[in-house]
Amino acid sequence: MEELIQQMKVVLANMFAFYLEAHYFHWNVTGPDFPQLHEFFGNLYESVHDSVDDIAEHIRALNEYSPGTLSRFKELTEIEEETTILKDRQMVAKLLIDNKKVIDCLNSAFKLAIKADQQGLANYLSERVDAHMKHQWMLRSIIS
């Protein structure tokens, strides 16, 4: 169970970092596809943001406290912080790479949830994988 709890903390940190990155890109995108990408990044960060609270609550349901500070998220996340203003297609490419990290992390947590007989959590994680697979398809389609 401890391994699952720790993985869920990484899931939370990754999800928050991904949300923040998509929001950052939403604010700063420029170029000929600005309207479409601004809207796409907005929809993406809103979708991901909605999951952050749910993940924290799943950690609490496992009788553990959820991390919630930027410094703790930075320690836990597998997503490298972007501190520069990228070109529009570079933003999409970065999100594509980081979304894959989110998917891999969710899949790891899913396997641990199954092993720990946590069906409700496994179902939730499965739904998040599906959502991020759709994000992956859309991101890939934009840069194709």
Note the pLDDT tens digit of each residue in 6-55. Answer: 999 999 999 999 999 999 999 999 999 999 999 999 999 999 999 999 99
Q: How confident is the model at residue 17, as a pLDDT?
A: 98
Give the model's confidence band at 138: pLDDT under 50 very low, under 70 low, under 90 confident, else very high: very high
pTM, two decimal places:
0.96
* Helices vs strands, H then E, count in the chain: 5, 0
Burial (CB count within 10 angstroms: exposed 0-12, middle 13-18, buried 19+), residue 65: exposed
Is residue 10 within 8 Å of 76, Cβ to Cβ?
Answer: yes
**pLDDT for residue 78:** 98
Give percent above pLDDT 70 in the chain: 100
Residue 123: how many other CB atoms lie within 10 Å: 12
Q: What is the average pLDDT value for the chain, to the nearest integer?
A: 97
Both tokens assigned to 115: 């092993």
From CA 4, how far away is CA 118, in angstroms rounded?
A: 10
Domains located in the chain, CATH noted: 2-143 (1.20.1260.10)
